Amino acid sequence: MWKLLYCFMMIPCNIAAMAIVVDYSSNSIVDDEIARAISGIKPASITDLINSLKKKSDTFKEITSLDVCDNNIGLSGSIKLFLFIKENLPHLECMNLSGNLIRDYRGSYEYDEFELLLIELITKDSFKTISLGGNYLDIDWYNHMQTILPAYLYEKIL
């Protein structure tokens, strides 16, 4: 269900640092509510993804890149994932959430929580980029984010 890749990068003092990249792309992961509503064979849910991260790697807190593109993750799944990241992945630098089902429902409680957690994530100095392309976020959403964020933070959203 998941792939764990170890990448070695050279840092200025010529010491090799290990980056942990986790790829859950194209695994048909859905929000927990959707998984519970399906009878029969259930698809993997956000909770399954989080539990898998915790079980499969004793170094999961060292993850620097998380790729969950091309799944079926909506606002509630994104919120749960952002909360997990906030509490458990202090070294995360990059995240790919492109090609999911995140929608621009500004004004709803769920959307407001999504936006707040997204801003919290990109505000971390160590965080570099989040890819959200291919969701249901149109140019109006990107313009909205550009008006509420300083340029150096807005540039972290791809």
70-109: pLDDT as tens digits: 999 999 999 999 999 999 999 999 999 999 999 999 999 9
Kindly tell me if the per-residue pLDDT of 154 is higher than 50: yes
Name the residue range of residue 66's domain: 3-154
Q: Side-chain half-sphere of 8: how many Cα atoms within 13 Å?
A: 3
Kindly tell me if the per-residue pLDDT of 156 is higher than 80: yes
The mean per-residue pLDDT over the stretch 139-150 comes to 97
Q: How many domains does the chain have?
A: 1
Say what the pLDDT of residue 15 is. Answer: 32
Residues in a beta bridge with 8: 18
Say what the pLDDT of residue 61 is. Answer: 86
Say which CATH number the domain at 7 has: 3.80.10
Under the banding of pLDDT at 50, 70 and 90, the label for residue 7 is very low
* pLDDT tens digits, 43-69: 999 999 999 888 866 778 889 999 999
- pLDDT higher for 39 or 70? 70
* pLDDT tens digits, 117-136: 999 999 999 999 999 999 99
- pLDDT higher for 42 or 2? 42
